[in-house]
Amino acid sequence: MTDVRASLFAVRKAAPRDALAISAIHGSSFPSPWPLSYWTRTISDPLHRIYVAAMPGCPPLGYLVARRIVDQAEIISMAVVAGSRRQGVARGLLDALTEDLCGELPCRLFLEVAADNAAAFELYRRAGFEEIAIRAGYYERTGAPPVDARLLARDLR
């Protein structure tokens, strides 16, 4: 486990060399991982913004991928390696995105989070997001009933 609090991590835009690490983080964080080809393609797509948080000389601790279209943006996925969670990495990624978006035209930022992910919901609430809807049974769970998605939004001006 890496103690992120004791170290300095930096958030930067992802580069093609980060695709494999991002794919690995996603694969260890979600039950249906997206293929490496998704990440290599998306890193180069101008509609997407992908950020990674990493300590100097180390592989990424986490990533965030978002898409902006005109006056709306959506966080598509964000994950942090298990040993570095609850140490400010996700907040750093989220702050980098919102700072980047605030430098442009005003927009509304959306995301969805599983209703049973209390830690993520609290992170987003503290970052100024408000719940605007529920998507019933949105997330499939192996061997368990589906979980609702909470749709959240924040205006960036």
Active site residues: 112, 124
Helix, strand counts (H, E) of the chain = 4, 7
Q: For the purposes of burial, counting CB atoms within 10 Å of the CB of 20, is it exposed (0-12), middle (13-18) or buried (19 or more)?
A: middle
For the record, the structure tokens of 9 come out as 């991590």
* CA–CA gap between residue 38 and residue 120 (Å, rounded): 24
- The owner of tokens 């049974």 is 137
Neighbours of 2 (CB within 10 A): 15
